[in-house]
């Protein structure tokens, strides 16, 4: 080998090692941090092992029992189980587990149920709406006329009375519920009659609250009148990154075509396997997990409110979800507070509040307690975390000390809960999969 080629090989090896080092450092950070990002969660160890399986290398275009490739008989078995478990968990008439992200699921639903120049309604981004619901994303891709739901800032929710008037006046073809800052259930049942009157379909983006819906602790969109639920599978629902669509039998063909071949070629098969296991976990443990998640959010909100933070919606118990929202303008705004907390190993995000005009300078922050709940934290830990947050935000000299206390707190919470007891399940999977990994 020539010297130049040898040096290139050495340089590339160093580059590869630097990537591995960065991953290792990332793991170390999150092992010693308090993750409070509302759109994240962690999977159980069996799911992690499945994500590393040979399924991550394979294609299975088509449907269960009707693939375009050979070698899919076990993939059919896995996908059939995921669909069956989801139907049972959500009491859904039809399930599609192929979408690879929540946005992908939303694209499929909106393309299935609308035509160009149709009118739709969704929440604006400043009022908590997800970016995929905005004029910059799917509505523009589909050339839809976008109207925004009237919003009650005090209640941090859609204004139901004004919404009903707007539906009858604007006559949209589709109502898109769900949002990114999602404190309280949306008025789906109230919208159903008005939607029927104007011939509108209802899509409910459950990405943030699917785990709470699975645990019967938020709302039941399908029973309340939604035609379709779209959702990512890795927020309050503690599965692998990906998505799911639940819908009524009468529109399943439209949804199926919009997903494949409309917006998905090959879906991520290792994620489907992980999703199947997570669905089984939620069938067994979902109610307890969802209940503790909401309790944790309420306790954290109350503690922060009592020490003087401007936690939104005190008059209605702060939240009915995994999230809490806080106006931190007096502490420098959302970006400054998020950065300060990160230095203390408390990981959150800045967040727009309805009064904000500049998306780069939001006044708010958003907490989500679902991941801390998943590792076993409860009321007492929420009280301790509220104290840590308060000290990190208010006392600059305290940040390094708080960081060390965060690390100490995390030492006792390194195992995922609300899943099948790892010892036997993990040993079984390790034996079954080790020779293939």
* Span 81-110, pLDDT tens digits: 999 999 999 999 999 999 999 999 999 999
Residue 226 and residue 333 in one domain: no
* Tally of structural domains, the chain: 2
The mean pLDDT of 366-392, rounded to a whole number, is 98
Are 253 and 340 found together in one domain?
Answer: no
Quote the pLDDT of residue 422.
55
- DSSP result, 265-301: SS--HHHHHHHHHHHHHHHHHHHHHHHHHHHHHHHHH
pLDDT at 4 over 80: no
Report pLDDT for 350: 96
- Tally DSSP H helices, then E strands, for the chain: 16, 17
Residue 235 covered by a domain: yes
**338 and 277, same structural domain?**
no
What gap in Å lies between CA 279 and CA 282, rounded to an integer? 5
Rounded to the nearest integer, the mean pLDDT of the chain is 93
The pLDDT value recorded for residue 357 is 85
pLDDT above 90: percentage of residues in the chain: 87
356 inside domain = yes
Residue 37 confidence (pLDDT): 98
Shared domain for 99 and 210, answered yes or no, is yes
Same domain, 273 and 147: yes
Question: Facing residues of 203 across strands?
Answer: 176, 228
Residues 195 and 276 in one domain: yes
Same domain, 320 and 255: no
Is 19 a residue whose pLDDT tops 70?
yes
Domain check: are 269 and 329 in the same one?
no
What pLDDT shows up at residue 431? 52
What is d(CA 234, CA 2) in angstroms, rounded to the nearest whole number? 48
Pairwise CA distance, residues 149 & 124, whole Å:
7
Domain interval for residue 93: 47-281
Structure tokens at 127: 């009022």
pLDDT at 437 > cutoff 50: no
Q: pLDDT by residue (tens digit) across 194-241? A: 999 999 999 999 999 999 999 999 999 999 999 999 999 999 999 999
In a domain, 417, yes or no: no
436 confidence band (pLDDT: 50, 70, 90): very low
Shared domain for 81 and 180, answered yes or no, is yes
**Domain membership flag for residue 163:** yes
Residues 277 and 293 occupy one common structural domain: no
Q: What average pLDDT score do residues 139-160 get?
A: 95
At 5 the pLDDT is 62
Asked, for residue 66, whether it belongs to a domain, the answer is yes
| Residue 434 pLDDT > 70 | no
Q: Are residues 309 and 275 in the same domain?
A: no
CA distances from 146 to 46, 111, 156 (A): 42, 14, 21
What does pTM read for this prediction?
0.94
Lowest mean pLDDT among 9-13, 30-34, 145-149: 9-13
Q: Which of 265, 281, 297 corresponds to the end of one domain?
A: 281
pLDDT in tens, 230-287: 999 999 999 999 999 999 999 999 999 999 999 999 999 999 999 999 999 999 999 9
Exposure b/e, 197-226, CB count within 10 A at least 16 = b: eeebbbbbbbbbbbbbbbbebbbbbbebbb
pLDDT higher at 61 or 11:
61
In a domain, 95, yes or no: yes
Which CATH number fits the domain that encloses residue 66?
3.40.640.10
**Is residue 328 a part of any domain in this protein?**
yes
Q: 174: helix, coil or strand?
A: strand
36 assigned to some structural domain:
no
Provide the edge-to-edge strand list for the sheet that holds 243-247: 94-96, 243-247, 228-232, 201-205, 174-177, 119-122, 145-148
Query: Quick one: pLDDT band at residue 291, thresholds 50, 70, 90?
Result: very high
Confidence of residue 160 (pLDDT cuts 50, 70, 90): very high
Final residue before a domain boundary, out of 281, 300, 332: 281
> Are 258 and 338 in a shared domain?
no
| Tokens found for residue 83 | 């669909």
Q: Which of residues 281, 314, 348 is at a domain's end?
A: 281
Contact 416, 373 (CB under 8 A): no
- Residue holding tokens 């509302």? 38
At residue 12 the predicted structure's pLDDT band, cuts being 50, 70 and 90, is: confident
* DSSP codes of every residue in 227-252: SEEEEESSSSS-S-S-EEEEE-GGGH
**Residue 424 pLDDT grade (very low, low, confident, very high; cuts 50, 70, 90):** low
Q: State the CATH number of the domain containing residue 367.
A: 3.90.1150.10
């Amino acid at each position: 080998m020539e010297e130049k080629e040898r040096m290139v090989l050495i340089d590339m090896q160093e580059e590869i090692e630097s990537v591995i080092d960065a991953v290792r450092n990332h793991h170390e950070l999150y092992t010693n941090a308090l993750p409070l990002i509302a759109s994240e969660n962690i999977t159980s160890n069996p799911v992690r092992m499945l994500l590393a399986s040979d399924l991550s290398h394979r294609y299975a275009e088509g449907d269960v029992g009707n693939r375009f490739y050979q070698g899919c008989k076990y993939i059919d078995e896995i996908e059939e189980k995921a669909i069956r478990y989801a139907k049972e968990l959500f009491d859904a008439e039809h399930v599609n587990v192929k979408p690879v992200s929540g946005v992908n699921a939303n694209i499929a639903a909106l393309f299935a149920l609308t035509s160009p120049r149709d009118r739709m309604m969704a929440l604006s981004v400043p009022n908590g709406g997800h970016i995929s619901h905005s004029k910059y994303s799917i509505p523009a891709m589909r050339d839809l006329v976008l109207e925004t739901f009237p919003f009650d800032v005090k209640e941090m929710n859609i204004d139901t009375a004004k919404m009903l008037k707007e539906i009858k006046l604007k006559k949209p073809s589709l109502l898109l519920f769900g949002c990114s800052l999602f404190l309280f259930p949306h008025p789906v049942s109230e919208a159903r009659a008005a939607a029927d009157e104007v011939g509108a379909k209802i899509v409910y983006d459950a990405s943030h609250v699917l785990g709470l819906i699975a645990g019967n602790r938020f709302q039941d969109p399908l029973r309340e009148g939604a035609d379709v639920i779209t959702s990512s599978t890795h927020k309050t629902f503690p599965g692998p990154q990906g998505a799911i669509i639940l819908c009524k039998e009468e529109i399943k063909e439209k949804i199926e075509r919009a997903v494949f071949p409309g917006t998905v070629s090959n879906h991520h098969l290792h994620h489907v396997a992980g999703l199947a296991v997570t669905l089984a976990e939620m069938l067994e443990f979902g109610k307890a997990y969802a209940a503790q998640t909401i309790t944790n959010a309420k306790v954290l909100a109350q503690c922060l409110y009592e020490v003087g933070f401007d936690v939104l919606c005190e008059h209605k118990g702060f939240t009915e979800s995994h999230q809490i929202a806080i106006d931190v303008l007096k502490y420098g705004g959302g970006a400054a507070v998020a950065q300060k907390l990160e230095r203390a190993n408390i990981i959150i995000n800045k967040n727009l509040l309805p009064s904000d005009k500049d998306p780069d300078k939001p006044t708010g922050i958003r907490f989500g307690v679902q991941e801390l709940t998943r590792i076993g934290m409860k009321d007492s830990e929420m009280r301790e975390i509220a104290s840590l947050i308060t000290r990190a935000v208010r006392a600059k000299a305290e940040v390094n000390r708080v960081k060390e206390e965060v690390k100490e707190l995390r030492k006792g919470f390194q195992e995922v809960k609300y899943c099948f007891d790892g010892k036997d399940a993990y040993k079984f999977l390790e034996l079954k999969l080790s020779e293939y990994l």
